[in-house]
Structure 1
Amino acid sequence: MTIDITGLPPERIAFCPSPLAELGNALHTLAEPAHHPRLHAWATATSAALEPELADRLNEAEFMWRSTRSDFLIPAQPRETLAEELDDLDRMDDEKFVGSALEISCSTSHYPKGVPSPLVDEWSRCRALDLAAARGPRQAAFAERMLAEPTATRAWIRRLLEDCDRAFFADTWRRVRVQLASDARHKTELLRRKGLAEALAAASPGLRLEQDERGRRIVVDKLVQGRADARGSAVTLVPSVFGWPHFFALYAPGWQPVIQYPVAGHEVGGAESVETVMLRLEALTHPMRRNLSRHLARGAFSTSELADAYGITAPEVSRHLAVLKKAGLLVTQRRGRYVLHQLDISVVSRIGSDFLESVLR
């Protein structure tokens, strides 16, 4: 997806941590611990220590952070404290808040274009209730209550987030805020000294700057199509310790674009672009290339040796090898007049983790 920043001055691009955004990630980690294997110990200990009543309320509202993330959980103007960010939410009008809270679909067709708030549009209301019902009767009842009593339900949500802060997040935030602030300062300094392209590259391999005759764009490497226009507005980039492997981009109409990226870690995978991952998967769908890979995984072979082994012509082998090489799955070496090919085991062994990271991103 792309964010148009043509003509946007550098001072309108900011790197800044957000306690509310990190709380949203922490809640997602508790709801989907399998997505976050390096946080297994934290998730297990935190879940075990939750009071049953708080755990019950979290289950009631979890559709706002489980499979997707409600937009209000990723603030465009991060504050120093969670209380300040919750105060900002209190100043948001009911239509915008409820619309973002109930945007709980993984659909990529409605989100970029935006839909009217379910508080004022019957189609949006029915859609929101259907989506909530698919997640369970308690979630459906919660959505109905939010539509019927938005002010009271918003107060309930604030109390829930405040109770999470008291129960576990305040201590967690004290431990991670220094790392997040340091990351944001580093990227801000890179932006000032070396420009946006360097700052984006340092933030994540999933971010890059494109510039041509059509203008300047931030490109977010995700398996989703979307476009946002930040001209006359701003862009906020929010680092996250709890975010990996997810990579959020808020680009709904009427919202300032926000990108939430995971701070550098030591996970397997995550460095490859979505295009590269798909290219490697497609390269291995052909049965002959899979057969060739069986030989190439065991050692280095010439084109003629492979042609003889499988009873096909050398040009046919070359065409298949070219596909594997373009996908970055081969290493080649020359021995005299022969060129030998071998499967790059280290790259192939990461395909599964790279694919998982790309779809969770």
Structure 2
Amino acid sequence: MSVTIDITGLPPERIAFCPSPLAELGNALHALAEPAHHVRQHAWTTATTAALAPCLADRLHEADFMWRSTRSDFLLPPQPRETLAEELDDLDLMDDELFVGAALEISCSNSHYGRGTPSPLVDEWARRRALDLAAARGPRQAAFVERMLADPTATRAWIRRLLEDCDEAFFADTWRRVRIQLAADARHKTELLRRKGLAEALADASPALSLEEDEHGTRIVVDKLVQGRTDARGSSVTLLPSAFGWPHLIALYAPGWQPVIQYPVATREVGGTEPVETVQLRLEALAHPMRMRMCRNLARGPYATSELAHAFGITAPEVSRHLAVLRKAGLLTTQRRGRYVLHQLDFSVVARLGSDFLESVLR
């Protein structure tokens, strides 16, 4: 599964790497709402949460569905600015239907995201759906959505004040700290794009980003546990580096929006680099009870096929079939000793499986 962005014929100058203060604020708010996702930011989330004024903390809780499970699309600006104020000014120019529709996406499980839905301001079905999803998240969220649908202009002003108050309370200092790193990363990716091409720049941004080229065209592929596609031909693609992003990789591909990808910087750590398909293959290989039992032996030492057949009371061909599945998933190492081929569990791969799986579902 993946999100694909068709960029056939798109000039390189229409692909931009650039940091965004609004996008980074959205990620910072997500880290405060879901600190368990962001163990690398534990010190920051703990200190910032402790220092929040109770009134601001309550307001953040009221609106946190816009950044808790995913980021509302308006938090990923396609034309980043130097300052948060400039990006908020751009938001003020967005019409109410588009802004409210983006704000009330609410859940990352929305199956209609890639197809688009009418604005809840003009469509009764979309209105009921937004109210139902909000009600499932508690009375505060339900009241907030009802207020937004009744008076979108006043609620948008409330959201802007909230983001400005966050900037004053904690984000301005945080942005001064991280913007240098993000600007340097964007310059490096831009130089890679210029000198070595888009494939190199994407690979450097994230192992989950790649470029596909064939007779049908050229596409950016975002390896995620979702299926989606969008067309950037005649438009642009913006890639936003994020210091608070890991382990998430966000792709904005809703109809009517310029594609935006937000990727985490500095993720060169153990785990989190395997494609979703590989993680799925390994989990499926280990789900079979006989293979799980075999792994107990294979973890303790090298075994030949005949030894495993004798140990588990099954035929050698059955053992071979199970070993083939484990080997295809990359979970085994093999070595030859004389006329015997010995198999053993690859500890380095198995040790990463938990972190690879967690990163895949949070990506």
Equivalent residue, structure 2, for 1:271: 273
Displacement of 1:266 after TM fit? 4.6
Q: TM-score, normalised by structure 1?
A: 0.98
- Of all paired residues, the percent bearing the same amino acid is 84
CA offsets per residue over residues 247-302 of structure 1, 9 Å max, x none?
10000000000000111235441111100000000001111111111110000111
Q: How many residues align?
A: 361
Equivalent residue, structure 2, for 1:126: 128
Q: Which moved more, 1:263-272 or 1:153-162?
A: 263-272
Partners of 2:238 and 2:217 lie apart in 1 by 19
Displacement of 1:105 after TM fit? 2.0
Q: How does 1:188-203 map to 2 (within 5 A)?
A: 188-203=190-205
Moved over 3 A (4+): none
Q: How does 1:149-168 map to 2 (within 5 A)?
A: 149-168=151-170
Displacement of 1:237 after TM fit? 0.6
Counterpart residue type for residue 118 of structure 1: P
What SS does the aligned partner of 1:246 have? coil
Q: Which moved more, 1:259-268 or 1:277-286?
A: 259-268
Counterpart residue type for residue 340 of structure 1: L
What SS does the aligned partner of 1:208 have? strand
Counterpart residue type for residue 249 of structure 2: F
What SS does the aligned partner of 2:303 have? coil
Displacement of 1:172 after TM fit? 0.4
Choose from 307, 313, 316 the match for 2:315: 313
Counterpart residue type for residue 46 of structure 2: T
Matched, 1:18 2:25: no
Equivalent residue, structure 2, for 1:291: 293
CA offsets per residue over residues 211-235 of structure 1, 9 Å max, x none?
1111111110000010010000010
Q: How does 1:167-206 map to 2 (within 5 A)?
A: 167-206=169-208
Partners of 1:22 and 1:268 lie apart in 2 by 24
Partners of 2:296 and 2:109 lie apart in 1 by 39
Matched, 1:250 2:256: no
Partners of 1:105 and 1:170 lie apart in 2 by 28
What SS does the aligned partner of 1:357 have? helix
Partners of 1:24 and 1:158 lie apart in 2 by 13
Partners of 1:306 and 1:150 lie apart in 2 by 67
Matched, 1:57 2:59: yes
What SS does the aligned partner of 1:30 have? helix
Q: Is there any run of 5+ residues in structure 1 with no aligned partner, and where?
A: none
Equivalent residue, structure 2, for 1:239: 241
Partners of 1:222 and 1:297 lie apart in 2 by 30
Aligned CA RMSD, in angstroms, stands at 0.9
CA offsets per residue over residues 149-204 of structure 1, 9 Å max, x none?
11111111001000000000000001111111111111111110111111111100
Choose from 329, 335, 352 the match for 2:331: 329
Counterpart residue type for residue 172 of structure 1: T
Displacement of 1:303 after TM fit? 1.2
Partners of 1:120 and 1:11 lie apart in 2 by 37
What SS does the aligned partner of 1:350 have? helix
What SS does the aligned partner of 1:120 have? coil
